[in-house]
Amino acid sequence: MKVVMSLMDKHDRLIVENTDLKLKLAECEKVSAMNQGLKEEIQEISKQNDILKATCQDYKRSLQVKVPHRIVDRTEGRLGENKLKKLRNEWKQEQEDEKVKFLEVVKRQIQENMKVTVIEVIKEKEDLVRDTVDKKKSFMIFGMKEKKNPNKFTRECEERELAKTVIIRVQDRAQELDQEVEEVIRLGRYSESENEIPSGCRENYGSEREAWR
């Protein structure tokens, strides 16, 4: 009888262990699929960057070829040295302006690609962000501190709108939206500088912050 009970206990333990291993395997497969998706995104962005670099080089070469021809043609027409110098300066300024415009376009394109990738990762790979608290913390650290309007009323309105947008995108629901926005704004202000908190409130603030963690 003892042998039978021992075998039954061992059987139960093996079933539990088998279930745990299956769950871990499913989690590993999910992480592997996520990594593969991220690799494909990185490869696509790399290809786009290569195309943009090649286009930039072609554009630069075309500018270098275009203006010397104009200068040679006008030199043959016996233009004075001052006019040639003026043309040369105008060409240099024109080239710099075009280069700045092109670099701005490239920079905006890269930023847009990165924004889309980050939003997709946050929305689709939810196991990377465990709960709403971590999502709000990440938003405060990487989002709200980047731009600060000196006007207090305007800044608070912008922060609330930005918080509302991020919470909706991250949670995919509008439940208790106002409370979530106020909590994000409150935590964002406290995290900016502990020196701004009255000394009598530091202990409560520290315990509250630990609770959020």
Model confidence pLDDT, tens digit, residues 165-178:
666 655 545 445 55
- Residue 115: the pLDDT is 64
- Residue 158: the pLDDT is 75
Reported pTM: 0.25
- Residue 68: the pLDDT is 56
- Residue 166: the pLDDT is 64
Domain ranges of the chain: 40-128, 132-212
Structure tokens at 180: 């979530």
Kindly write down the DSSP assignment for every residue of 99-122, as one continuous string: HHHHHHHHHHHHHHHHHHHHHHHH
- Residue 128: the pLDDT is 44
Weakly modelled stretches of the chain, pLDDT under 50: 125-137, 139-146, 172, 174-175, 190-213
Alpha carbon distances (Å) from 131 to 11, 51, 93, 137: 36, 39, 53, 10
- Residue 198: the pLDDT is 43
